[in-house]
């Protein structure tokens, strides 16, 4: 596939930990980012191959998370409580047929009955109506939100699944026809019609929509499916200057995914809280007091996790060049074999 060279210029603000450190003279770094939006790439884009790879990687990741869940129940894992809540919600949704395809919903952001109704409630929010650019996760239950974002003429920012081929893609309604908007809301459609962006993109995100497995309406505490990509995406957007503390975070879930037993004191510094919850029946403003992450917390990120994500390695390399010293790394972890990814570049 043809690639495109981008020049990185470091336009973002460092987190407080590094802001006071002296920097070296400006350094530019070039790296390759897959360009799926050029005419040549569109002509040669293989939908079947892309979808087959996506499904394979998705299955591998879910098997890896199943291994992690099993391991957490057999040892003193400080994150074991998260898996207990996740499994309870997944079992509840499957047992009561609150789940929609893809099923089973275990180890996924679960697609739920009434997802379109929850999206309609989100659409009625002033913050959604006023937003010009909305970042939406790529999971199935938020597909109606992606559709409404494009249908309302907004800019859609969506991460490439598991950040496996790049970073984010931008889709604008003027790139599409009425017949292609629905396809553009899928992973294949994002690859076909989206414009890949890099870390130096000048972009302002007005609203973040995030998927959840469980969320506490009283505190805004949220649990995802356990891979941590939502937190990494949020942290990188902070570094880019695309979002700040005032950028609202919204989630859409089934009413059965509302819980009251997420211990706020056990949340990690990079866990992202939510400001608004939309369900098929109600809208909840959490008035969360949980601090939002300020960026990437490198001392919490294992070398193995870093090795999975090329764009994250590029960000780390860039910051290290700017500050003239190595960033800290988190403790090593043994990833299950199915969680390994081939490094591309």
> 331: buried, middle or exposed (CB in 10 Å: 19+, 13-18, 0-12)?
exposed
Sign (positive or negative) of CA dihedral 224, 317, 345, 35? positive
> Same domain, yes or no, for 155 and 80?
yes
Q: Provide the CA 143 distance to its chain's centre, in angstroms.
A: 14
* Banded model confidence at residue 309, pLDDT cuts 50, 70, 90: confident
What CATH number does residue 162 fall under? Answer: 3.40.50.10420
pLDDT value of residue 263: 97
74 in a domain, yes or no? yes
The answer to whether residue 156 sits within a structural domain is: yes
Q: Would residue 25 count as lying in a domain?
A: no
Say yes or no: 252 and 214 in one domain: yes
User: Integer distance in angstroms from the first to the last C-alpha of the chain?
Assistant: 13
Q: Quick one: 194 and 94 in the same domain?
A: yes
Q: Among residues 254, 285, 316, which one ends one of the domains?
A: 285
| Three-state DSSP class for residue 179 | coil
Residue 117 maps to a domain: yes
Q: What is the structure's pLDDT at 49?
A: 62
Give the three-class secondary structure for 212.
Answer: coil
Residue 162 confidence (pLDDT): 59
- Determine contact, residues 116/141, Cβ cutoff 8 Å: no
One domain for residues 160 and 252: yes
Q: Are residues 207 and 306 in the same domain?
A: no
In a domain, 339, yes or no: no
pTM (predicted TM-score): 0.79
Residues 189 and 308 in one domain: no
| Shared-domain flag, residues 264 and 325 | no
Give whole-number Cα distances, 61 to 58, 97, 114, 187, 327, in Å.
Answer: 5, 24, 26, 16, 27
Distance CA 4, CA 55 (A): 26
**One domain for residues 317 and 236:** no
User: Do 166 and 109 share a domain, yes or no?
Assistant: yes
H-helix or E-strand spanning residue 67? helix 47-74
The C-alpha atoms of residue 57 and residue 49 are separated, in whole angstroms, by 12
Cα–Cα dist 331/342, whole Å: 21
Cα–Cα distance for residue pair 151/132, rounded to 1 Å: 12
| Residue 199, CA distances (Å) to 113, 233, 312 in order | 36, 11, 10
Tens of pLDDT, residue by residue over 130-158, are 999 999 999 999 999 999 999 999 999 99
More confident residue, 124 or 27: 124
The per-residue pLDDT of the chain, averaged, comes to 82
Domain assignment present for 290: no
pLDDT computed for residue 223 by the predictor: 98
Whether residues 208 and 274 share a domain: the answer is: yes
Q: Is residue 12 part of a domain?
A: no
Assess if residue 257 is contained within a domain: yes
Among 121, 156, 112, 127, smallest CA distance to 275 is for 127
Domain count, the chain: 2
pLDDT in tens, 232-272: 999 999 999 999 999 999 999 999 999 999 999 999 999 99
Strand partners, 215: 222, 258
184 and 67 housed in the same domain: yes
| Closest alpha carbon to 13 in 245, 208, 250, 210 | 245
Average pLDDT score over residue span 30-49: 48
| Cis before 102 (ω within 30) | yes
Domain encompassing residue 115: 48-285
Range with the poorest average pLDDT among 168-172, 286-290, 337-341: 337-341
CB 41 within 8 A of CB 35: yes
Residue 15: DSSP 8-state: P
Residues in the chain: 345
Mean pLDDT of 206-230: 95
* Whether 73 and 217 share a structural domain: yes
């Amino acid at each position: 596939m043809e690639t495109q060279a981008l020049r990185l210029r470091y336009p973002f603000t460092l987190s407080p930990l590094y802001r006071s450190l002296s920097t070296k003279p400006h350094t530019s770094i070039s790296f390759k980012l897959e360009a799926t939006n050029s005419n040549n790439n569109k002509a040669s884009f293989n939908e079947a191959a892309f979808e087959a790879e996506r499904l394979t990687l998705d299955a591998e990741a879910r098997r890896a998370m199943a291994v992690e869940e099993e391991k957490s129940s057999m040892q003193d894992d400080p994150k074991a409580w998260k898996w207990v809540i996740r499994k309870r919600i997944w079992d509840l949704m499957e047992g009561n047929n609150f789940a929609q395809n893809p099923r089973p919903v275990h180890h996924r952001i679960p697609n739920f009955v009434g997802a379109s109704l929850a999206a309609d409630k989100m659409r009625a929010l002033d913050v959604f109506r006023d937003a010009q650019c909305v970042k939406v996760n790529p999971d199935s239950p938020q597909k109606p939100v992606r559709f409404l974002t494009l249908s309302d003429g907004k800019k859609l920012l969506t991460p490439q699944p598991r950040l496996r081929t790049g970073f984010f893609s931008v889709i604008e309604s003027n790139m599409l026809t009425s017949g292609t908007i629905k396809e553009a809301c899928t992973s294949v459609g994002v690859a076909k019609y989206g414009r890949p962006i890099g870390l130096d993109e000048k972009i302002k995100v007005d609203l973040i929509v995030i998927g959840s497995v469980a969320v506490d309406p009283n505190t805004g505490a949220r649990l995802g499916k356990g891979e941590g990509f939502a937190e990494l995406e949020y942290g990188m957007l902070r570094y880019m200057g695309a979002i700040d503390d005032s950028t609202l975070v919204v989630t859409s879930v089934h009413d059965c995914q509302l819980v009251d037993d997420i211990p706020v004191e056990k949340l990690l510094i990079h866990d992202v809280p939510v400001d608004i919850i939309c369900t098929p029946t109600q809208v909840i403003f959490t008035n969360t007091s949980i601090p939002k992450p300020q960026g990437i917390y490198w001392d919490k990120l294992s070398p193995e996790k870093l090795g999975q994500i090329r764009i994250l390695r590029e960000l780390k390399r860039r910051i290290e060049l700017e500050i003239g010293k190595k960033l800290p790394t988190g403790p090593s972890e043994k990833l299950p074999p199915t969680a390994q990814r081939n490094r591309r570049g």
